[in-house]
Structure 1
Amino acid sequence: MKLQKVKLVLFSSVILLFAAQTSQAEAPSPGTTDPVITQSYFEQNTLSEAKVKEIVASTIAANAGGSNGGTSTTPTAAANMKVVQLENGQTLYAGAGAEFIVRSGKVLAVSNDENGIPDVTGGKDLPAGTEVALNHLLIFPTEGRGIKPSPKNDTSIYVMVRGGFLILNADGSKVLQ
């Protein structure tokens, strides 16, 4: 009789253990099936196109600003492009980190040391006195470099500028923007 009780307990334990493993195997693992959600949950937890437009517009408005014609250290001034007209006899100097794109006219690179100006579009350094190609992006790592009209220039010079800059006349006086 005692042996039958032991067999019955052992058999019952095996059945319970098997049942427990089976129920665990049938339960889905997290992340293996697509969750079912309600439409209201979806609408509360997603961005609508109108909400995205609102966020973009407010960010652009918060970053509005521009350069004041001098070296600027404000992030909003560095984030916006300004179109500058350069006259014959003037030199456009860049602040550290400024970017120029010459849109029209013939200009030459200017540098107060032996280092040139990185022409990102052309993939080379422009030493002082080199003619700058139109529509090439120039990045100025330090101050003391810029551009000036070429003696061969016979048209208006327009430059897109991002960042701080300074325009000097031939006599060294500042041009107010």
Structure 2
Amino acid sequence: MNNKLIIGLITAIILITQVDTSQAEAPTPGSSTDPVITKSYFDQNTLSEAKVKELVASAIAANAGGGQPSGSNGGTGTSTPVTMKVVQLQNGQTLYAGAGAEFIVRTGRVLAVSNDENGIPDVTGGKDLPAGTEVALNHLLIFPAEGRGIKSSPKNTADIFVMVRGSYLLLNADGSKAAQ
């Protein structure tokens, strides 16, 4: 009996010690780990939904005219618009991107073009497209450097429309600049 009593007392002491330490670890209200603030302080230092909308609207308005001036686009001869522009690509034409431009092919069949061994980042597909690869429709392509773009595929039978953000150059098959 003595052994059972001793084991019971030791178990009780361990349980009481664990309960006390778990209560001791809880932060004390008003301490540096659990500060108390007033409602007015909270109201003054938080953003309301209306204030967020106001800040977003003013930021959009500040950037409304926001393209780069002509000539600051690496020599492609077009300005860099903030919004997307729809460009129609004819069979035989090549659409070259300026550095930082973005393309989304909406219709038609096009191939990736690159003047070096580096491909074009297909953000939607999560891979680089080497030159000659067919570009999937509705995939976002980002062009980190000039000298890359897309051209109509010899297999294309549909109209090609591309959404473009950034500077670009549209060339005919003979290398002349295409009228837009």
Decide: shared fold, TM above 0.5.
yes
Letter in 2 for 1:102: V
Alignment-derived partner of residue 73 in structure 2: 72
* Offset at residue 142 of structure 1 (A): 1.5
Alignment-derived partner of residue 47 in structure 1: 47
Alignment-derived partner of residue 89 in structure 2: 86
Alignment-derived partner of residue 4 in structure 1: none
- The alignment status of 1:104 with 2:107, answered yes or no, reads yes
What CA deviation, in whole Å up to 9, does each residue of 1:3-55 have, x standing for no partner? xxxxxxxxxxxxxxxxxxxxxxxx953453422334xx555444333222121
What CA deviation, in whole Å up to 9, does each residue of 1:59-82 have, x standing for no partner? 112222457998737xx9465332
For the 8 Å contact 1:67–1:82, the answer to whether it is kept is no
Letter in 2 for 1:152: K
* Offset at residue 88 of structure 1 (A): 1.8
User: Which is helix-richer, 1 or 2?
Assistant: 1
Say if 1:67 and 1:162 are closer, same or farther in 2 by CA, change over 3 A: farther
Say if 1:29 and 1:125 are closer, same or farther in 2 by CA, change over 3 A: closer
Alignment-derived partner of residue 31 in structure 2: 29
Alignment-derived partner of residue 123 in structure 2: 120
For the 8 Å contact 1:70–1:164, the answer to whether it is kept is no
- The alignment status of 1:170 with 2:173, answered yes or no, reads yes
Counterpart secondary structure, 2:112:
strand
**Number of corresponding residues:** 148
C-alpha separation in 2, matches of 1:70 and 1:156: 30
What CA deviation, in whole Å up to 9, does each residue of 1:86-127 have, x standing for no partner? 122221001122221111110011112233222232233222
* Offset at residue 151 of structure 1 (A): 1.6
TM-score, normalised via structure 1 length: 0.68
Higher mean Cα deviation, 81-90 or 97-106?
Answer: 81-90
Alignment-derived partner of residue 142 in structure 2: 139
The structure number with the bigger radius of gyration is 1
Identity, % of aligned positions:
73
Letter in 1 for 2:47: L
* Offset at residue 147 of structure 1 (A): 0.4
For the 8 Å contact 1:67–1:164, the answer to whether it is kept is no
For the 8 Å contact 1:69–1:176, the answer to whether it is kept is no
C-alpha separation in 2, matches of 1:169 and 1:124: 28
Letter in 2 for 1:134: L
Provide structure 2 residue ranges, at least 5 long, that are not aligned to the other structure. Answer: 1-28
Provide structure 1 residue ranges, at least 5 long, that are not aligned to the other structure. Answer: 1-26
Say if 1:31 and 1:164 are closer, same or farther in 2 by CA, change over 3 A: same
Counterpart secondary structure, 1:131:
coil
